[in-house]
Structure 1
Amino acid sequence: MKGIILAAGYGTRFLPVTKTIPKEMLPIVNVPSIAFIVDEFVKSGIEDIIIVSSRRKKALEDYFDREIELESIFEREGKTKLLERITPPANVRFAFIRQQRMLGTGHALLQVKSFVGDSPCIVAYPDDLHIGEPPLSSQLIEAWRETGCSVMATVYEKDDVSRYGVLDIAADGKHVRAIVEKPMKGTEPSHEVSIGRYLYTPDFFNYLEEGWERHEGGEYYHIYALNKLMNEGRVVYKRLSGHRMDTGEPEGYLEAILRYAESIPSLKRVLDNYIALKKG
């Protein structure tokens, strides 16, 4: 099982900081957001991670490499805790592929087809982070082992879903028949909302290539291949257990920082003191 992170986009919602800093490196307190996904992969037993980036994002490669100078200083000074913070994940092999033309996520995934080979893979969109146990990728792997199908991660939205991609679910309550993008209120086929985590079986990439050959220009997305698999009854969904943090826009990014800070006692005290001060 390989893990793929799509990180080639411009991050325009976060300008001006993303003029020079990859959006995936923006910190949730002191942890780059992309590190949450890598940690999820590692905890799910994934040791081969492919990051699709672009020319402006060499910082991603540097972050997951060793920092020899700092390591030497920390080792010499006996600062083992700081050394642990900068050490790349053990037993993980990283590969970086640049998407040289911004032609959509389907085109980005085609860049990794030969690296994936004949095994399933997890595809992560870096705007969606997960907190909780078991890791989200583990949940998708379990669903794949039970069904042999590609798996879409979802969250249940009880209120208005007209801003989302909503799943049309088959009568068996497991398989996905279609995705309805931004349905008008009252016409939604369900309240299961697709999020940026997928497990794809190898045949997905064959359909992805087939769709690219028929593509007439502009950005190319993964929907063609996913529709093919759904039409064959080979896609199921998994509603996530845990909490999703949507960092795609500044508002959600701020919420993610606050939610993560709440999980750390020293930072939670700062939040509590700030709230008490505002109330006082």
Structure 2
Amino acid sequence: MKGVIVAAGYGTRFLPVTKTIPKEMLPLIDRPAIDFIMDEFAAAGIHEVLIISSRRKKSLEDYFDREVELESVFKKEGATDKLARIEPSDMKVFFTRQKEMRGTGDALLCARPFCSDEPFIVAYPDDLHFGEVPLARQLVSVYEKTGCSVMSTLHDPPNLERYGVLALADDGLHVTDIVEKPAPGTEPSREASIGRFLLTPEIFEHLEDGWQKHLTGPKPESEYFHVYALKKLMDAGKVVYHPIEGERLDTGAPAGYLRALLRYAARDPELAAEIRSAAAELE
């Protein structure tokens, strides 16, 4: 099993900081958001990860490399605790660049040489997960039982109409369709798709087919999304869903990022006390 992180987007909701700093590098206190995805993958037994980035995101590559100058300074100081904090991950991390912002379907096609004929887990770094069982491990367990691609969901979240909502087969397991942002009262279920998927390699054939149709369609210059290929797998009865166990934090917009930052900080008793003190001052 391999991991793929889609990290090529502009991050326009966080401008101007994302003019020079990738959104995936925005920190939760002292760790960039992408670090949490890497930990999740590692805990699920994934040792090879492809990060799909773009030309403005060289700092992502630097982050997963050694920092020789700091290592030298900390060794001279005998600062073993600091050395441990900058030690590179044991994960094998690969990078490829999406040359143009042409949508998630195009981005996933960049992963085909890396994934080859293996199933893989796709993570969008806006979605962070905290729980006893890593979300990637939950998806792997479902795949091992079904052999199908797996979509992770939130069950009956607030503002369901803001999500892609799944239509389910009579067996209550397979997915037959996804409806983007349905009007209230028209939702096909209460299961909302989020940014974590386990995909089987046959999706690449559908991505290629959809890409060719997109290029000959009425708006070839527009973005191409992976939903076309997912729906082809749904039509073949090869997609199931899994309501996540644990807590999902959405860092995709400033309000969600702030909430995630506070939720993560509250795990530290000292920082939790600071949060309570600051909140009291704001009242």
TM-score calculated relative to the size of structure 2: 0.96
Q: Secondary structure at the match of 1:215?
A: helix
Map 1:1-280; keep pairs closer than 5 Å.
1-90=1-90, 92-216=91-215, 217=220, 218-279=222-283
Question: What whole-Å deviation, never above 9, does each CA across 1:165-187 have from its counterpart, x for those lacking one?
Answer: 00111111111110011111111
Contact kept, 8 Å, 2:250 with 2:260, in 1: the verdict is: yes
Deviation of residue 159 (structure 1)?
A: 4.3
Rounded to whole Å, the distance in 1 between the matches of 2:12 and 2:167 is 31
Deviation of residue 83 (structure 1)?
A: 1.0
Q: Secondary structure at the match of 2:160?
A: coil
Q: Secondary structure at the match of 1:162?
A: helix
Contact kept, 8 Å, 2:157 with 2:192, in 1: the verdict is: no
Rounded to whole Å, the distance in 2 between the matches of 1:253 and 1:159 is 17
Deviation of residue 278 (structure 1)?
A: 4.0
Deviation of residue 223 (structure 1)?
A: 0.7
Question: What whole-Å deviation, never above 9, does each CA across 1:128-155 have from its counterpart, x for those lacking one?
Answer: 1111121110000000001000000101
**1:102 partner amino acid:** M
Rounded to whole Å, the distance in 1 between the matches of 2:47 and 2:158 is 38
Q: Secondary structure at the match of 1:167?
A: strand
Deviation of residue 76 (structure 1)?
A: 2.2
Deviation of residue 86 (structure 1)?
A: 0.8
**1:70 partner amino acid:** L
Deviation of residue 62 (structure 1)?
A: 0.1
Q: Secondary structure at the match of 1:123?
A: strand
**2:23 partner amino acid:** K
Rounded to whole Å, the distance in 1 between the matches of 2:146 and 2:83 is 42
Question: What whole-Å deviation, never above 9, does each CA across 1:194-217 have from its counterpart, x for those lacking one?
Answer: 000000001011111111121131
Structure 1: where are the runs of 5+ without partners?
Answer: none
Structure 2: where are the runs of 5+ without partners?
Answer: none
Deviation of residue 89 (structure 1)?
A: 1.2
**2:47 partner amino acid:** E
Question: What whole-Å deviation, never above 9, does each CA across 1:52-75 have from its counterpart, x for those lacking one?
Answer: 000100000000001011112212
Q: Secondary structure at the match of 2:161?
A: coil
Q: Secondary structure at the match of 1:134?
A: coil
Q: After the TM superposition, list the runs of 4 or more consecutive aligned residues in structure 1 that deviate by more than 4 angstroms.
A: none
Question: What whole-Å deviation, never above 9, does each CA across 1:215-242 have from its counterpart, x for those lacking one?
Answer: 1312111011100000011100111111
Count, aligned residues: 278
Report the RMSD for the aligned CA atoms in angstroms.
Answer: 1.1
Rounded to whole Å, the distance in 2 between the matches of 1:39 and 1:128 is 13
